[in-house]
A = this chain, B = another copy of it.
């Protein structure tokens, strides 16, 4: 029931590119207003050079804005000795805001209430600016998206038969030593379905249940499989039909980084042409002479051809999938 198809009509980019970013253009809402309201997340997601430029601009503005009253005060009341030009006032403002206070000639007159108040005000406002920017820098630097980049998905999916049931599987792995807590995989199929009027269609995601409920332990690379049972949305589909309805399989690997408790999501998407028929992933986990287990990521994407009869089950019960998960297939268990 699985024919092989080929060719795609028109240019169709996948939902998710190879870096896990969405290939989606969004329009039709007032960007400015909403972005300003959610300033923090806008700053956190700015490009690096833009954020750096913004950060320097903020401090520059702070220095210059406070230099104005310092300059006026110095010209009229001679409150800050040594400030004879606006550049001097900026220099004094820098010393106050950064709390350097070199002293020397530029020590404000203790009798000038206004200039002393301005120094205090600039100090407190700078603290406020520091606190806000510190939070943004921290959130940017610790962004879990970068951690998600150390999670790997196999380049292809494989489709093999196990006990007479076709299984659509991929391999996921974590190339960092520290763990992902509560890691779980969600497999979704995205399809276009004609609907209502002739020219309207619904784009809808449907979850594909995976063996073991999707929970994985990423201490070692794991294989995640969806059994194509009669209740599966993929049951009875040929590769041509998959191409025709613009099918795409989206895989989400979600979990929590053990060192920072940050929640992360890695994404991959597979087109029908990315599915390798009658193949399985090759062995990656071996024993070293020292007794430790070894994982070789060079075999991560490697597949080996299998015939249905090759999937032997010498230890009957050990081969069974997780019994506690809702049995998604009608294999008579």
Determine if B280 and A10 form an interchain contact, defined as CB atoms under 8 angstroms apart. no
* B residues less than 8 Å from A135 (CB atoms): 137-138, 141-142
Determine if B293 and A15 form an interchain contact, defined as CB atoms under 8 angstroms apart. yes
Q: Report if A304-B134 is in contact (Cβ < 8 Å); known contacts: A24-B294, A139-B259, A311-B195.
A: no
Asked if A237 CB lies within 8 Å of chain B CBs, one says yes
Interface membership of chain A positions 306-329, coded 1 if the CB is closer than 8 angstroms to chain B and 0 otherwise: 100011111111111111111010
Asked if A106 CB lies within 8 Å of chain B CBs, one says yes
Which of A10, A104, A116, A136 has the largest count of B CB atoms less than 10 A from its CB?
Answer: A104
Interface membership of chain A positions 212-242, coded 1 if the CB is closer than 8 angstroms to chain B and 0 otherwise: 1101110110110000000111111100010
Determine if B290 and A13 form an interchain contact, defined as CB atoms under 8 angstroms apart. yes
Closest CB of chain B to A25's CB: distance in Å? 5
Determine if A205 and B231 form an interchain contact, defined as CB atoms under 8 angstroms apart. no
Q: Report if A108-B102 is in contact (Cβ < 8 Å); known contacts: A195-B312, A296-B27.
A: yes
Select one of B10, B11, B147, B220 contacting A38, CB under 8 A: B147
The 4 closest A-B pairs by CB, nearest first: A104-B107, A209-B324, A103-B103, A28-B297
